[in-house]
Structure 1
Amino acid sequence: MTDETTENAAPVDFIIIEFPEGQQNFSGEVLEELANLVEAGTIRLVDAMILIKDADGSVDALELSEVDDVGPLRELTADLADFLAEQDVADLAAAMEPGSVAGVIVYENVWAGPFAAAARRAGGRLIADGRIHSQSIVDALEAEAEWEEDEELEREGDV
């Protein structure tokens, strides 16, 4: 690694998004949005694959370069690394339901690079990080809305 590479090193994350059987409505929109993030310089795609878990639990893992129609991501496939090891794929697939398809992406948070570099220059170092998953936020907001609706109905009943 060069000094410039380490100076601007940004956090690398991965996500796996499962599409359960019967709920797979692939229109290309997900790939377009991912391409938009890359084009905007928000993230750098490091690795991407598709996992297909059959009803019997067997899993096929396809690198993005092995998939025929990846639309706007086609030009990026040559630059992707084989970042995920066989055991990583097995661990991710274990979380999937039989009959589902999942997309896995490993990405560098390019947007965070300059901030991380400034923190390092100031003598800082990352000692912990975490994430609140977007699905957890959606679930919490839906629960809060339901609670508020119940409270409103209860108040109307007291009138």
Structure 2
Amino acid sequence: MSSETDETGPIDYLVIEFPGSRMTGEGLPLLVDLVDRGIIRILDLVFVRKNQDGTVDGVELSELTANGQEDLAVFEGVSSGLLGRDDIDEVSAVLEPGSAAGIVIYENVWAGPLAAALRRSGGRLVANGRIPVQDILASLDAAEAGSRA
């Protein structure tokens, strides 16, 4: 393993659907902030729109800039090669007609040193997952309701 890949953090992906293609770009400055602070590194970033007839078009970053004030040039042409046409087609197949989506592949840079230390000590990832925020909120609401009973 090279020293660069030795310190690589976990790599995740997100697909965020925007029903009605209502992408405002409001979240993009927050994404820029995460990159600027070295928390994540964007490997791939693609936006698509699924038309009513089922065809899919790419969406340019310039179309998403909130009020034209954010400089998103840092994301122009971001492509590691991990996200391929097949992946985009797979995402597009689950989108509702008239919707848009952002697809992002990112490295969790913050976790790189920890991941490297665990690998050096013989550790290996055997499971991972994510708990949806809606499930956590429902569980907290149920616990709170139970404590009032």
- TM (norm. structure 1) is 0.77
2:73 equivalent in structure 1: 74
Mapped pair 1:100 → 2:82: no
Percentage of pairs with the same residue: 40
Q: Deviations over 1:45-94 (max 9, x none)?
A: 001011100112111134xxx43254333123245334311110011111
Query: AA paired with 1:67?
Result: L
- TM (norm. structure 2) is 0.81
Q: 1-side partners of 2:28 and 2:78: how far apart?
A: 16
Provide runs of 4+ in structure 1 moved above 4 Å. Answer: 146-152
For this pair of structures, how many residues does the alignment match? 144
Flag the structure with larger Rg: 1
Query: AA paired with 2:104?
Result: I
SS in 1 for 2:76: helix
Unaligned regions of 5+ residues in structure 1, if any? none
Return the structure number with greater relative CO, CA threshold 8 A, min gap 6: 2
Q: 2-side partners of 1:68 and 1:102: how far apart?
A: 15
Q: 1-side partners of 2:53 and 2:147: how far apart?
A: 45
How large is the Cα RMSD of the aligned pairs? Answer: 2.6
Which residues of 2 match residues 34-49 of structure 1 at below 5 A?
Answer: 34-49=31-46
Q: 2-side partners of 1:151 and 1:120: how far apart?
A: 43
Deviates more, 1:115-124 or 1:136-145: 136-145
Q: 1-side partners of 2:97 and 2:134: how far apart?
A: 24
